[in-house]
Structure 1
Amino acid sequence: MVMHSSRNGPTGSQPRYLASTAVLLVEVIKLLASLTLASNDMCKSNPRRSPAEIAALVYRSVFAHDCWKLVIPAALYTLQNSLVYVAISNLDAVTFQVTYQLKILTTVLFSIALLGRKISSRQWMSLILLTFGVALVQVSGPISTEDWRERLSSLMQGEIPVSSGFKGLMAVIAASLTSGLTCVYFEKLVKDSLDSVSLWTRNVQLSFFSLFPALFIGVLWQDGASIAQNGFFAGYGPIVWLTIALQALGGLVVAVCIAYADNVAKNFAASLSIVVCYAASAILFRTPLMLHSTGGAAVVLLAMYLYTSRPGPRVMLLPMSKERHSAVENPPRPLLFQLMSPR
């Protein structure tokens, strides 16, 4: 909600701030925060070390022999952001929001393939419901059956230009696959080495390698001309800085969630936040409630209940043994009757 306000609120005579600069600052803040937490962990392990020794130890742990593995998720995150930009540019908002929810299912598929996670049929049903519910909640405005029919028929019959139809659809599907692969790969990398490499050291490595695409591709290549004309911090204000701080904090919390839970739990938490945001927007900004969005919120809550709840114990009907059959036909008498009966 804060980000929406920063991107759509009035700016007066100031230009709108550039998203690429905000992304770079988020990575810088995450890098500094993770570096501080990693140094604090190493200081606790041996309080007698000097600051110079701790700095040298942090440097060796960050740039260890396996640090190159974090180049892969950093590059995949950059590719995912680029694909999202292409998809948004070539699809309408409704089609993008609905299709991009496939990342929930792709995350589960990569979790099964890379982590060997077991998903029951009940959980599969809840995940499909979650995808459907989140898609409904994120669709803004009234949507009729005719609207959906026109979108699908025009897309399938090729009435929409290839640049705005097929290209956008392929981009959003590729972004969903990239999102699932990136999240699961980072989870596997963190959990496989959590005993030897701390979570915050991995986060330092990820943020460090993410700086290069954010700087060279986003800031210099994409928005270099605007920054040269208006400056790096053009359009910045308290709401923009609050957005950047919340994004950085969210990135740190996601890392903890992935390390000590999993990406499926992260997806459910993100889905619940969408429902909370939908309800809060209706209360704070008096956004009208739509029937399909309200139904989608209910479906999300139902999916969370189905995924986290355990099925009740099954009643097993097995053949009775002779001893059990005799005990059922002649149950033991109460203790009072036993005492009163003659021996």
Structure 2
Amino acid sequence: MATEQVSIYFKIYCLTVMTLVAATYTVALRYTRTVSKDMYFSTTAVCLTEIIKLILSLGMLAKETGSLGKLKASITENIFRSPKELLKLSVPSLVYAVQNNMAFVALSNLDAAVYQVTYQLKIPCTALCTVLMLHRSLNRLQWFSVFMLCGGVTLVQWNPATSNMVQVEQNPILGFVAIAIAVLCSGFAGVYFEKVLKSSDTSLWVRNIQMYLSGILVTLAGVYMSDAANVVEKGFFFGYTPWVCFVILLASMGGLYTSVVVKYTDNIMKGFSAALAIVLSTIASVTLFGLQITATFASGTFLVCISIYLYGLPKQETTKISKEEMDKSSKQKLISV
């Protein structure tokens, strides 16, 4: 298995990068939505993110195929001759586009730390979608961790921490609604994409290219519907600063590194990564935005971090048990022979 062939140092490297990207992206996006005088259009940023992801995926597919001829053959076969597959991948493209735009709305109205904690509601949402769409089951500890996570998020939102260094007008209710929509989109799109991946032997990078091509069309339509007049008047790149470009680059890298982490690490390590990202976002928010930590926020954050760990724990134990059973069965077969 792939998880056994890579070194622990490579796993640590992947998790470290994903953690830093997740925490830095949230804080940097919050900064660009609260400090910039000439506010850039979030729809154009989401569109550029899809374009960069497409370019990076093409590079990974070129590395996987090993030659330019094989790359062309793969693109011809899976893109130009497979309109049904493109249409199939347009579903998560549309949903992810909504999710990414909602992240901009949420971080325009909520602090980065509050957003990072609340966004972990994607775990129970993904669990529910997994049960309904993939017909999997969760054990008692997993369900317990889901309810613990919901309780932690409730505490965080009950008396949310506030920033005394942010001068822009904010609407916490709008921010929470935006996160709720993003969470629903994340759960559905993630499980849908997993189902598509496991329905055939098509390369992950080919599937990514199919999805990002559809994503570019979807996000361009979003630019037209939401900001067409402003883009024509002010330009596609209005309000772009080095920080905005940095946010777009982080968003592009985050999706690809998440794929690598899913492939090469386990749920416990991913849980530690998510919890550490929350801690880093909180520290950065205190330093950069003057976040004032409340007792309910601290308690809720602690519950969320523990629940993330508990949710990943049963899967790891189940994997170990299944391996032990396989070893026993193989030994029995050898004895019988």
**TM-score normalized by the length of structure 1:** 0.66
Question: How many angstroms apart in 2 are the aligned matches of 1:74 and 1:52?
Answer: 28
- The structure-2 alpha-carbon separation of the partners of 1:289 and 1:105, relative to structure 1 and needing over 3 Å to count, comes to same
Equivalent residue runs for 1:65-76 within 5 Å: 65=82, 66-76=85-95
- The structure-2 alpha-carbon separation of the partners of 1:3 and 1:87, relative to structure 1 and needing over 3 Å to count, comes to closer
Question: How many angstroms apart in 2 are the aligned matches of 1:114 and 1:133?
Answer: 26
CA RMSD of aligned residues (A): 4.1
Answer yes or no: is the 8 Å Cα contact 1:83–1:171 preserved in 2. yes
Equivalent residue runs for 1:1-343 within 5 Å: 1-11=27-37, 15-43=38-66, 51-65=68-82, 66-80=85-99, 102-137=121-156, 141=160, 176-193=183-200, 196-217=201-222, 219-258=223-262, 269-270=273-274, 272-309=276-313
Answer yes or no: is the 8 Å Cα contact 1:137–1:278 preserved in 2. no
- The structure-2 alpha-carbon separation of the partners of 1:262 and 1:223, relative to structure 1 and needing over 3 Å to count, comes to farther
Greater gyration radius: 1
The worse-fitting range, judged by mean Cα deviation, of 226-235 and 301-310 is: 301-310
Count of equivalent residues: 277
Question: How many angstroms apart in 2 are the aligned matches of 1:141 and 1:295?
Answer: 11
- The residue type paired with residue 226 of structure 1 is N
- The residue type paired with residue 41 of structure 2 is L
**TM-score normalized by the length of structure 2:** 0.67
Question: How many angstroms apart in 1 are the aligned matches of 2:73 and 2:36?
Answer: 47
- The structure-2 alpha-carbon separation of the partners of 1:282 and 1:173, relative to structure 1 and needing over 3 Å to count, comes to closer
The worse-fitting range, judged by mean Cα deviation, of 70-79 and 18-27 is: 70-79
Question: 1:173: how far off?
Answer: 6.1
- The residue type paired with residue 191 of structure 2 is V
Answer yes or no: is the 8 Å Cα contact 1:39–1:58 preserved in 2. no
- The residue type paired with residue 7 of structure 1 is R
Question: How many angstroms apart in 1 are the aligned matches of 2:232 and 2:268?
Answer: 42
Answer yes or no: is the 8 Å Cα contact 1:184–1:263 preserved in 2. no
Question: 1:40: how far off?
Answer: 1.3
- The structure-2 alpha-carbon separation of the partners of 1:125 and 1:85, relative to structure 1 and needing over 3 Å to count, comes to same
Percent sequence identity is 36
| Structure 1 unaligned blocks of 5 or more | 44-49, 144-163, 314-343
Task: Give the structure with the higher percent helix.
Answer: 2
Answer yes or no: is the 8 Å Cα contact 1:108–1:264 preserved in 2. no
